[in-house]
Each structure stands twice: as structure tokens, then as C-alpha cells.
Structure 1
Amino acid sequence: MIWVKESYFDNDATTLQNYFILSKGAVNGIGSGSSFRKSPTGAINGRMFSNLPLSDILFAIGLEIFKQKGEVALFNEKRAVINVADQSKIFQLTDDYIDKDNLYSLDLIVPEKKADSLYYFMLDNLNRYTGFKSKFKVVPTKCLVLKRTSEKDKIRTKGGKRISTFPRTPSIIQNAPLSVMVNMLNGKTPISLPIIDETNYTSNVDMQISSITTVEKLQKELLQYDLELIEASRNLLMLIVEENNQK
């Protein structure tokens, strides 16, 4: 694998317009993580990922594409459908073992005028060279919908310091938007379905949930605030990853 160093192009006569590098397998000596690339004017027109599972790269792309599309919810793994037989090729399945053969490093720069398409270029190149095909598509999806059950306001904040301990035990939110709680519940919790907020509540809230262990327990505790969490189907923007049989 050849790494192109930015310092090679740091002069007035040369402006790097575009490059793309992808490798599979651990690259020694560069660590694991991600960093942004900037054009001479300071615009973000590139990004580098090193020694990461493919899921980490795809989810980082998902976070940015959700923002670009104006999604209220932050991208999370519950908004991903991974139709891949061997999940270890996408995810790091255990914390105590790193499968170095299935780590990826990616570095991409695009012309500044195409910076808003950076993550779509990344996705296209990953689809072309990894053996997997990923796309963002609005599809009917089973989810949990958060709604108010009355017009009585039992959640409006009394003010004070902003606190959020979700999803720890107890889970407390104080003087923060309801979206903070929803985003935390959509993180790594025992609740497998994505949660969608349809309360239309815009003020900051105060709430406390004793623990988040099951959907049923969470539903019961939300009732004290005149909130319900019901299973339904909604058309949601999802990341869909499949085997690329054409490779």
C-alpha cells in the first residue's frame, strides 16, 4: 500500500485535486482511527480512516449522510440492515480479539467544489472494491414510535444544569431536549428496534427512568410522563449492506 503524504503537495505551485487509496488488512505503524483532510481554503474535502472494521467506516459515512439529508435522528446501527452471511467480515464481533485480516484503511480527497459529495464518493469506491454493496434507501421499517398520550405537560424542565445519563442506571435527563434521550436509546441498549420521536415536543425536559432492560419496562415507566412507545412501521432512511455478487 502506498500512502500519499499531504506534505508532498504543500506548496504554492501544486494543489492536490483527487486521490483514493484503499487497503484491506492491518497496516502497521499508523494506528487506528480517522481524520479529516482540508483544502487550502479550509474546506473539508477529504477523510482518512485507518485500521478499522468496515462497519466503523460505513457508520461514519452514515452519520454524515444523515446530516446532509436533514434527518432528525443521528445515524445509529439500528438504522442499518446488514444482509451479509459472515458478519465478521463487516463487524469486529468480540472485544478481546481483533481480526486484522478484516480491517480496512481508506484515504480519499476530492476537488473542493465536490466536497459535498465526499461521502458518496467513499461509498461508491467501497462498493466497487470491497465485495459488498451499500446504499441508503427509504424502506418500510418496524420501529418503536414515541408519542404523547395527553396534553398535560409532565416533562417540561424546571431548569438547572443540563444532565443526561442515558442509558445508565438510573437514566436521567434534565434540562435537555427529548431528542437527547431518543438518540441515547438508539445507541447500544437492549432495545433492538429504532425509536422514532413523534411527540412534536420542542421544550427541554426532565425525566428519570430506573433502568433500560426491556422494551416492556421502558414502556411502563414512560407512562408516568404521559408518553407511550408503540410498535409500528414507518418509512425510514436505512443503510442496507449486501454481498456484491458481481465482484
Structure 2
Amino acid sequence: MDISTYVLLSHEQALRRRLDIAANNMANSETAGFRREAPVFHEYVETMEGPPPREAPRDARATRFVQDYRARLDTRSGAFQPTGNPLDIMIDGPGWLAVHDAGGETAYTRAGFLKVSEAGELVTSGGAKVLDEGGQPIAIPPDALPTLAIAPDGTLSAQTGPLGRIGVTVFEDDSALSQRGDGLMAGSGGRSLGANETRIRSGGVEGSNVQPISETTELIDILRSYQSSMAISKAIDDLRRDAIGRLGRIG
């Protein structure tokens, strides 16, 4: 393949990456706490050099390819969705709920569907243990269940008194987080917010910040870019075929 085909291929790989991310965003438009992703690409420049007389023309020495860099999170919050459950929460501002998954690994989520497990611990709807500000699971005594309440600073209390404070972790750059594929995020280097820095709303959860109309527009744009790429590819094939035909007639 010549250089034009490689450039075209890098563009189509970028389009495939855009398509995967846009489709995932669309599929999670109703997922509580989901943060929209957007691809980030780098321009990769390849310099063509060689000794005379094979030296490339000056205008053709720098060839630019598209290189996948990473996906970044859209940090805008989703809308508050009331549920009527006093244990359901939404982080009003930056931050993530820290949880322990089934394997004991620390992960992060903004999906605030919470409940008390049979073992008497505060967990997410998927069974991950919600951690307090010290990174430990929060135990709930059986007699505290009827009067549980969550304060705006994350303090979980009952009629008998405080039971702990839900930890909220922030990252200097949310790009340090990555999707695990199970509704949780993996990351490291976070900082736990203090009580005066935490803002939590109870009685509801955060909706997805995905805008379906915007994602539909993105999918249409990707489709049109694919169509343009196919047209260019066909034009390149026609040029090759014409060149081969002329060389054949010369021979």
C-alpha cells in the first residue's frame, strides 16, 4: 500500500473509535451517574527522508496520521432524579463514591442507588460496599434501619446517633479514571473530601449526562465521514487502475 492508503486507514480507525464511544454513550443515556465520554486524538507526523535522488519532495516529506490518544470524561453533572428512597443520593458537585467490589478492589461510581445488605453494610444496587471517609465499609445496626437519614455532608445517622460519613473522592484530573465495563470506574491518586467540601442530595440519584440528540448527531457525522472515506478510497483505486493500464499500454 502507498502512503495515501495508510493515511486513509488511520482516519478510518479513528472513526471506528468515535463510533464505539458514541454507541456506548447512547446505550447509557438512561444509566444513573453515567458520564459521557469523548475521544481524544493526536496528530502523528511521519517525516519522509532519504538520500538523493530518492529524497521525497519537500511538500510531501511530512505525512500526518491520526493516532488514538484516550477518551476523556464529560464532567458536567446529570439531572437530579427523585426516587423517594432516603438512602438514594446524588453528589451535588465534583467527586465519586468510593466502593469495594466483590474482589475487595477499590472502584468509583456516581450511581447513588444505595441499600443495606443482609450483612448490615451500606452497599450499591450492585452489591459493592460503600466506603466512609476513612476507606472502610459502613456498618448499619439492625435497629437503625427505620430511622436512617443522610445529611448534606454525607453523614449517615439514625435515631441512635451518627453511624459514619459517606466518603466522596475527587481527582485532579478525571481522565485518571477509566471504565471497567461493570458500571464502575477504576482510578488512583484521589483525595477524600472533608465534610465542609461535600454536598450530597438524598432521596434521588444523578441521571446520565448524555444528550441523546447530540449523540445521534455524532453518529450521523461519523456515517458521513465513513462515506467520504470510502469515496476517497475508490478514487485512489481508480487512479491506480488508470496508472497500471497506461503502463501496460506503454509496455
TM-score bracket for this pair, using the shorter chain length: under 0.3
Between structure 1 and structure 2, the one with the greater Rg is 2
Higher helix share: 2
Higher strand share: 1
Give the TM-score of the pair, scaled to structure 2: 0.23
